[in-house]
Amino acid sequence: MPNSTWPTRPTFNADHVLLLTYLSAVTFVIGVLAPMVSLTPRLGDPTLEQFVGIVSGESFTPRSHSLLGGIQSLFVHGDILMGLILLVFSLLFPLGKLLLLLGLCLEVLPHRTHFMKILSLIGKWSLLDVVVIAVLVVSFKTFPGGTRITPLWGTYVFTVSIVLSLLAAMLMQTLEESTMDNLSPASTLHRP
């Protein structure tokens, strides 16, 4: 039986990470600008809805919102805290991660080890932006009177972007560890 050893190099390279990062960036932009949710307001009583519609001019037709439009609407209507939470965790956080990945892939960042530590820290919070969107959808689904919120295609594109960036970050960290292993004197030893 031949002596098997662990491969010393991953079967992927920085070009794969760069491709995942580009795909994540494209789907991120589309996901942020695309219709993410459709809100259908209801009061539970059609007569009451007609009365409110006549008195206030409020329409009970479905409205769709993109992530960017929803954040803007929150700020305009005075929901500053919720707007800031969505802005930070659903826009700035993923955007910063993508820019960091891009900088690492293109090798334009000085102090690479420092930025790899930052990427590792950001990785721990990777899916928080998707969780924030999910919590909002679930909370709106529990509105009284039958108000419905339905995820639209932008939600799925945004989620794909986050998953792609998560994969790119994991591959980048694996490549970095592999590079460090190959540079260390112990890398010449065979692993069992």
pLDDT band (50, 70, 90) for residue 15: confident
User: pTM for the full model?
Assistant: 0.75
Asked if residues 143 and 37 have their Cβ atoms less than 8 Å apart, the reply is no
Yes or no: domain 14-175 corresponds to CATH 1.20.140: yes
Who wins on pLDDT, 62 or 155?
A: 155
Exposure string of 91-101, with b = 16+ CB inside 10 Å and e = fewer, is: bebbeebbebb
Residue 191 has pLDDT above 50, yes or no: no
**Mean pLDDT for the stretch of residues 2-22:** 74
**Mean pLDDT for the stretch of residues 74-103:** 88
Residue 88 has pLDDT above 70, yes or no: yes
Who wins on pLDDT, 95 or 44?
A: 95
* In the chain, where the domains are located: 14-175
Residue 40 backbone dihedrals phi, psi, to 5 degrees: -115, 100
